[in-house]
Amino acid sequence: MLLPYGILEMCGRQFWIEPTRYYDILQFANRSVPSMSKTLLFNKILLLNENKKGLNIKIGHPFLDDTIFRAKLVDQGLGSKVQIFKMKSKKKFRKRFGYRTQYVRLHFDSILEIKSFKNYHLLTE
């Protein structure tokens, strides 16, 4: 059995989104992160399958105009540490550094038709 799903473009990547699931994405670039448990709306939807049998599929050109995904910001955190080691042989040059990628955990709860969304934080990139 296939749940309703959609393909959403967010932070330069495309995600297969199903309602009632959690997704870890890279932290929003060049944008202040909203506070915890704030409701977010995403409108860059590329494809939407509304029913379980796959009979009603909408494809955007490039995005759908009348549909949004609603998500709730659940958690912010850091990914695993990435170690980078540079070395030049026979030159006694060694350099080691690393970083941890920041991520945001979102819980997508529903797919909505655009009617009115005054109290939501709409994310468009």
Domain boundaries, the chain: 5-118
More confident residue, 70 or 55: 70
pLDDT number for residue 94? 96
User: Is it the case that residue 125 has pLDDT exceeding 60?
Assistant: no
pLDDT number for residue 93? 96
List C-alpha distances in Å: 112 to 30, 41, 43, 101.
26, 9, 10, 31
CA atoms within 13 A on the CB side of 121: 13
Tell me the per-residue pLDDT of 13-29, one tens digit each, with 9 for 90 and over: 899 998 889 998 887 66
Mean pLDDT value across residues 40-69: 83
* Structure-token match 């970083």, residue found: 99
CA–CA dist 111, 50 (Å, integer) = 9
* Structure tokens, 104: 């945001």
pLDDT number for residue 52? 65
pLDDT number for residue 115? 58
pLDDT number for residue 116? 52
Poorest-pLDDT segment among 25-29, 57-61, 108-112: 25-29
Average pLDDT, the chain: 82
Per the CB < 8 A criterion, the answer to whether 2 and 54 are in contact is yes
